[in-house]
Amino acid sequence: MILGLKVDVCTYDGLRVGVPNLLRLFDRHGVRASFFVALGPDTTGRAIVRALRPGFLAKMRRTSAIRTYGLRTILSGTLLPSRHAGRRLAPTLRDVLLAGHELAVHGYDHRRWQDRLSRMKDHAVREEIARAVAVYREVTHCAPRGFGAPGWQCNATSLRAIEEAGFAYASDTRGRRPFFPRVDGWALRTLQLPTTFATLDEILGLDGMSGEDLVGLVRSELGGMAWGVLTLHAEMEGVGFQAVADRVLAVVKAAGVTCLPLEVLADRVRAEGEENIPVADVIPRPIRGRAGTVAMPAGLEVA
């Protein structure tokens, strides 16, 4: 089996604290990953607008959000000023590349994309992507290959914009296998590598589950697929739940599974024949442990 290892970095402190911790952990295990970083201002505090969504407050309680993310992050962009992750923490972004990992784009303003994408006009979506790419180029002097939508939120507008921006692949969805998205009857050519496993924040505290249950879930599912994408979060596995990430990587290694950055996985999937890659419409679907819906390929959904 081949496992794409993905780290979503959604906040300023996730980049400042969680990413260096994960770089050390990955080095100990000898694995390489893709770090998807929100490259603009951290406006996490504005998540309060999601309080009326079913399941949101329950998820905040289950994951002990204030303790996990910290009060500074919880209030960022509201009672406290937002901090621009990409520009203020550029050395950390370069450290990711120097350590041999992929640096990919997780949007510009994570909170704005996750909460407002469905109401954003075409030009606003393109501007969010363009701003993130501009910061990426400013820091690395090269173009990003991968894009991962904040909160697994995407629609026809964002899928077209990602294609037009020239990304080699995207990881915007949750699903069972790679696919090409269909928009308005046309198959796009930006390969989608969906996350296949549940994430720690989705299962933590759900029916009494703990981090060890994520370890067990990964162990049980590894043997049943030829490939997969596992998503960690810098704010969780990179800070208060490093032991969980350590155990997951130990299980993966013991199973003889190869961990790869998603850019390498994308190249391998294409090399096996693009004619073998299915085309699917992208639809919103609820997923256990997460408020609202996430994007999934029709016919290839995960539970």
* Measured CA distances, 37 to 4, 105, 117, 245, 249 (Å): 16, 5, 18, 18, 21
Six token digits for residue 231: 């998503």
Compute CA 256 distance to the chain's CA centroid, rounded to the nearest angstrom.
Answer: 24
DSSP per position, 127-170: HHHHHHHHHHHHHHSS---EE--GGG---HHHHHHHHHHT-SEE
pLDDT for residue 57 is more than 60: no
The angle that helices 19-29 and 242-254 make with each other, rounded to 10 degrees, is 30
* CB neighbour burial string for 183-200, b if at least 16 within 10 angstroms, e if fewer: beeeebebbbbbbbbbbb
Least confident piece of the model among 177-186, 198-207, 266-275: 198-207
Residue in the structure block whose two tokens are 């924040």: 201
Extents of the domains making up the chain: 2-297
Residue 291's pLDDT is what? 85
Distance CA 139, CA 43 (A): 21
Backbone angles phi, psi at 23, to 5 degrees: -60, -40
- Check if the beta carbon of residue 45 is closer than 8 Å to that of residue 74: yes
For the chain, report the end-to-end CA distance as a whole number of angstroms. Answer: 21
Q: How many CB atoms lie within 10 A of CB 59?
A: 19
Residue 132's pLDDT is what? 98
pLDDT for residue 54 is more than 70: no
139-149 per-position pLDDT tens digit: 999 999 999 99
Quickly state the pLDDT bin for 38 (edges 50, 70, 90).
Answer: very high
Backbone angles phi, psi at 43, to 5 degrees: -115, 40
For residue 259, what are the β-bridge partners? Answer: 3
Long-range contacts at 61-65 (CB < 8 A, ≥ 24 apart): 61/205, 62/204, 62/205, 62/206, 63/201, 63/204, 63/205, 63/236
Quickly state the pLDDT bin for 81 (edges 50, 70, 90).
Answer: confident
pLDDT for residue 64 is more than 80: no
Region 255-280 average pLDDT: 96
Residue 196's pLDDT is what? 97
Region 47-76 average pLDDT: 61
Quickly state the pLDDT bin for 226 (edges 50, 70, 90).
Answer: confident
Least confident piece of the model among 53-57, 178-182, 219-223: 53-57
Quickly state the pLDDT bin for 47 (edges 50, 70, 90).
Answer: low
Region 3-15 average pLDDT: 97
101-132 per-position pLDDT tens digit: 999 999 999 999 999 999 999 999 999 999 99
- How are beta strands 102-105 and 293-297 bridged, if at all? unpaired
Is the pLDDT higher at 208 or at 85?
Answer: 85
Region 237-265 average pLDDT: 96
Region 188-204 average pLDDT: 96
Arithmetic mean of pLDDT over the chain: 92
pLDDT for residue 75 is more than 80: no
| CATH architecture type of domain 2-297 | Alpha-Beta Barrel (3.20)
Distance CA 235, CA 19 (A): 8
Residue 73's pLDDT is what? 72
Quickly state the pLDDT bin for 52 (edges 50, 70, 90).
Answer: very low
Residue 193's pLDDT is what? 98
Residue 62's pLDDT is what? 54
